[in-house]
Amino acid sequence: MVNVSLSGPRGDRLRSISLSVFEGERIALLGRSGAGKSTLLAIANGSLRVDQGEVRWRGASVCTMPRRKKREIGMLWQDLLLVEELSVGQNVNSGALGRHNLIWGLANLLFNVDQSACKHCLQRAGLDADLIERGLIDAPIRQLSGGQRQRVALARLLRQQPQLILADEPIANLDPAIASDLLDHLLNRSQEGPLNCGAKAIVISLHQPQLVHRFDRVIGLQNGELVMDQPSEQLNAADLSRLYEAG
């Protein structure tokens, strides 16, 4: 991301931001509401086009690269974007659409194909194995609790097998115990690597600065500007106070 700027109806949303994400990094993205965190992530995955600058993934522009290349970037949106009319399994398997043809996609929609891969992803996302075996895969999304929905969205991300994970406040509105457990599954501190899906790096926006010790690097936004970029172990209370002070 080089010299990226984006304007909105109320002024600049992001101003002259340059940063890189390196293999193996677990990055926390911090800032007050409206600081530009969601906008930055949407630009990073190609959902928003910038007014100035460029965003590249492995040498290719995220806005023009082919579909198979785009699937290397996985996004966990704050509102999850699950399809209420489809089952849990169909939602999870939709994460693999970028790797299959139209016939596979139609078969998944009609018959919920490849249940073994779906079950594996649901377990990796922290859903109870007994619940999965009792028919969770065939349950409609509308029957699930908020925490279960979050985990289904995470399982869909696992099914995608991305190289870069972007997550927009994935633990917002969850009680502390569920939020902590979901973050553990998202970061996955095992030796198998982030998410055990081949991901090389992960960027998560948070409203809980007390959790930054679980990350390697902290990026902070304030009024659309990059004002912090440092290792998490160097972060102190004064840094956080300055970041969250009224702009």
pLDDT digits 0-9 by tens, 110-127: 666 678 888 888 988 888
pLDDT band of residue 191 (cuts 50, 70, 90) is very low
Q: How many other β-carbons are positioned within 10 Å of the β-carbon of residue 219?
A: 22
- Is the whole model's pTM more than 0.95, yes or no? no
pLDDT digits 0-9 by tens, 79-119: 888 989 888 998 998 888 766 666 666 666 666 667 888 88
Length of the chain: 247
**Can you spell out the DSSP letters for 79-100?**
T----TTSBHHHHHHGGGGGGS
The answer for residues whose C-beta is within 8 angstroms of residue 10's C-beta and 6 or more apart is none
Of 6, 98, 12, 106, the closest CA to residue 47 belongs to: 6
| Contact (CB, 8 A) for 126 and 132 | no
Q: How many other β-carbons are positioned within 10 Å of the β-carbon of residue 203?
A: 23
| Contact (CB, 8 A) for 92 and 148 | no
**Residue 42 DSSP label:** H
Q: What is the mean pLDDT of residues 220-247?
A: 91
pLDDT digits 0-9 by tens, 198-212: 678 999 999 888 899
List, in order of start, the domains of the chain with CATH numbers: 1-72+162-247 (3.40.50.300), 84-161 (no CATH)
Residue 92 C-alpha from the chain's centroid? 15
- Please say if the pLDDT value at position 194 is more than 70: no
Helices (H), 166-236: 176-187
